[in-house]
């Protein structure tokens, strides 16, 4: 999905070994739909060639304020006026120091100084040695850049080219793209504490067998990501899935319905929105065997007894916090047929203001879905689309409901 479609980004590179990451970042930005114009300092060209970035961006790279390709010889004016944002990645300690003093002795710093402050944001992805990052001068500079209106991203932690380990690494390309997506997403959930469940649960029969379902967790994870982009602080309680944690989200891994219930009940008291997207098992074996249950040759299946799992959504929806309208609850229903009727009945039974229905067999494990939003007034369809897009639409819908809640 081209989430950055139409965005015009000036990608600035300053000197540092992290320039090698700029190649993947450029590629990722283009893949996300952005138009990328690369501007490099002389020092950056010592680490990666302009030819590489030209091939990846599809545009000639600018390296000098004296570039004769500009008819008025004012690349620093022309390029900054055409941009939706200037992204400096990597941003070296030296370059950030220059910015706070308004120094402009080459094209990239000239552009940063000449950009229209109200319409062209400056976004910096720092990269440097851990001692340089921790130095009081660098931290003062970062604080001043933020005070001046620049958006300074966090740094990563890990092994560095110098052989040391610590803070100061430039974020990876996908992490920077995530930050840009959040930067340009309307902050309709700013200040909200969102708690989301996702994925299946697993109810053990014995140490090697269990009861579960085909939920991949993709829808719930997409909703968590969309909520975070919209400005919320998000906690994700995930069943057993093999999905990476979306950036900026607190994740709690659980296995069984009882574990998910314990986690949710402990967190719901601090949430303002609860989205129960997990496919929770309705029943579990009354007692799991300590050892693998073996066939005895009789042809008879073992006699198993089941007990009902707690209704996580109903408990939260009937909590004092929810009843006082301090917690907005959203349920999910994965059905195999008669979606409207079953989802409508489930919404009333659970006592939630909004229930999201879908046909489980047609969406489990897939990257797309179709949703039915059911409330007290009726139902609204969200036609089949990517789970990313549906998650964004659902979050926008929830935000509108919260404004009236």
Residues assigned a catalytic role: 162
Q: Which long-range contacts (CB under 8 A, 24 or more apart) does 60-67 make?
A: 62/37, 62/38, 62/107, 63/39, 63/107, 64/106, 64/107, 65/106, 65/107, 65/110, 67/107
Token pair listed for 57: 């961006």
Cα angle 61, 62, 68 (rounded to 5 degrees) comes to: 120
Question: In the chain, how long is the greatest CA-to-CA distance?
Answer: 91
Rounded-to-integer distance, Cα 363 and Cα 354, Å:
20
The two beta strands, 273-276 and 328-335, are parallel
Total residue length of the chain: 405
Residue 233 · residue 192 · CB < 8 Å: yes
Sequence-ordered alpha helix ranges (H) in 196-332: 218-229, 257-267, 312-317, 320-323
What residues contact residue 248 under an 8 Å CB cut-off, 6+ apart? 178, 182, 228, 234
**Whole-number Å distance between alpha carbons of 46 and 343:** 61
Measuring CA to CA, which residue among 170, 322, 178, 194 is closest to residue 245?
178
Are 243 and 218 a contacting pair, CB within 8 Å?
yes
Angle at CA of residue 127, ends 39 and 46, nearest 5°: 50
By C-alpha distance, which of 183, 169, 168 is closest to 134?
168
Q: Report the chain's C-alpha Rg in angstroms.
A: 26
How is 199-238 classified by DSSP, letter by letter?
SB--EEEETTEEE-----SHHHHHHHHHHHHTT-EEEEEE
């Amino acid at each position: 999905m081209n989430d950055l479609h139409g965005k015009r980004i000036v990608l600035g590179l300053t000197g540092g070994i992290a320039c090698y990451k700029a190649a993947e970042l450029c590629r990722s930005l283009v893949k996300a739909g952005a138009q990328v114009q690369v501007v490099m300092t002389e020092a950056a060209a010592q680490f990666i060639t302009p030819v590489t970035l030209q091939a990846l961006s599809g545009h000639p790279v600018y390296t000098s304020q004296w570039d004769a390709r500009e008819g008025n010889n004012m690349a620093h004016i022309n390029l900054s006026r055409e941009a939706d944002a200037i992204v400096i990645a990597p941003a070296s300690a030296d370059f950030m120091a220059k910015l706070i003093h308004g120094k402009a002795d080459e094209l990239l710093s000239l552009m940063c100084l000449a950009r229209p402050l109200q319409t062209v944001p400056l976004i910096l992805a720092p990269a440097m040695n851990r001692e340089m990052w921790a130095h009081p001068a660098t931290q003062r500079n970062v604080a001043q850049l933020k005070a001046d209106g620049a958006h300074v991203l966090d740094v990563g932690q890990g092994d560095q080219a110098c052989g040391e380990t610590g803070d100061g690494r430039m974020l990876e390309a996908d992490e920077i793209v995530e930050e840009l997506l959040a930067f340009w997403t309307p902050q309709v959930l700013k200040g909200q504490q969102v708690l989301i469940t996702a994925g299946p649960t697993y109810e053990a029969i014995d140490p090697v067998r269990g009861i579960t379902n085909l939920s991949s967790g993709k829808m719930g994870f997409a909703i968590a990501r969309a909520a975070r982009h919209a400005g919320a602080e998000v906690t994700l309680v995930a069943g057993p899935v093999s999905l990476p944690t979306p950036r900026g989200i607190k994740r709690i891994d659980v296995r069984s319905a009882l574990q998910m219930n314990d986690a949710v009940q402990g967190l719901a008291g601090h949430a303002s929105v609860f989205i129960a997207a997990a496919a929770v098992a309705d029943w579990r074996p009354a007692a799991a065997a300590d050892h693998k249950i073996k066939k005895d040759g009789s042809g008879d299946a073992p006699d198993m007894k089941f007990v009902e799992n707690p209704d996580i959504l109903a408990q939260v929806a009937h909590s004092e916090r929810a009843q006082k309208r301090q917690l907005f609850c959203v349920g999910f229903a994965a059905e195999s047929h008669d979606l409207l009727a079953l989802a409508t009945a489930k919404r009333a039974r659970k006592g939630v203001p909004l229930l999201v229905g879908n046909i489980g067999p047609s969406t489990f494990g897939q990257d797309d879905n179709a949703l039915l939003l059911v409330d007290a007034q009726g139902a609204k369809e969200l036609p089949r689309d990517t789970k990313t897009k549906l998650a964004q639409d659902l979050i926008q819908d929830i935000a509108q409901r919260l404004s009236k809640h």
